[in-house]
Structure 1
Amino acid sequence: MYFLLIGIAALALKYLEIGPVATWSWFIVLSPFVLAVVWWWYADASGYTKKKEIEKMEQRKQDRIDKQRDAMGMLSAKKRKK
């Protein structure tokens, strides 16, 4: 995501000819987009994306369980103190 934001900012600066970015080559200005594609490929290939998705689902599941236990008055003393 950061590569995309940097790429969009550099693209806007290059197009509007603002600052030193106006003199940079298009190769340098467009390189953050290439890096974003490489990162997404790596994240998918390595399982990073799937791992984060599973962690998010497990957290949502645990939050639902805790909410139900709290509603029934069964939340552990450790969690009540927080």
Structure 2
Amino acid sequence: MYLLGLGLVLLGLKYLEIGPVAAWDWWVVLLPFGLAVLWWVWADTTGYTKKKAMEREDARRKARIDRNQEALGTQPKKNRR
């Protein structure tokens, strides 16, 4: 996502001819978009995306279980210091 944002900023600077970016070649300005595509391909083929999604889901599930157990009184309450 950072590469996509960087690419958009560089594209805007090149299009509006602002600063030193105006003198850069187009391939340099468009390079972050290519790197973002490579990142997404790598993340999807290696399972990185799915692993992160499963970690978020497990954390939400654990928080929900802990919250429900505390509400039912089956788990000791946390110290409030």
- TM-score range (shorter-chain normalised) is over 0.9
Q: Deviations over 1:26-81 (max 9, x none)?
A: 1000000000000000000111001001001101110110110010112245xx12
Match of residue 81 from structure 1:
79
Give the letter for the 2:8 counterpart.
Answer: I
Structure 2 CA distance for aligned equivalents of residues 13 and 30 of structure 1: 12
Q: Post-superposition shift, 1:6? A: 0.4
Identify unmatched segments of 5+ residues in structure 2. none
Give the letter for the 2:15 counterpart.
Answer: Y
Match of residue 37 from structure 2:
37
Q: Is residue 2:60 matched to residue 1:46?
A: no
- What is the aligned residue count? 80
Structure 2 CA distance for aligned equivalents of residues 46 and 31 of structure 1: 22
**Structure 1 segment 53-72 matched on structure 2, within 5 A:** 53-72=53-72
Q: Give the TM-score normalised by structure 2.
A: 0.93
Identify unmatched segments of 5+ residues in structure 1. none
Q: Post-superposition shift, 1:3? A: 0.4
Q: Is residue 2:10 matched to residue 1:14?
A: no
For the aligned residues, what is the CA RMSD? 1.1
Q: Is residue 2:26 matched to residue 1:26?
A: yes
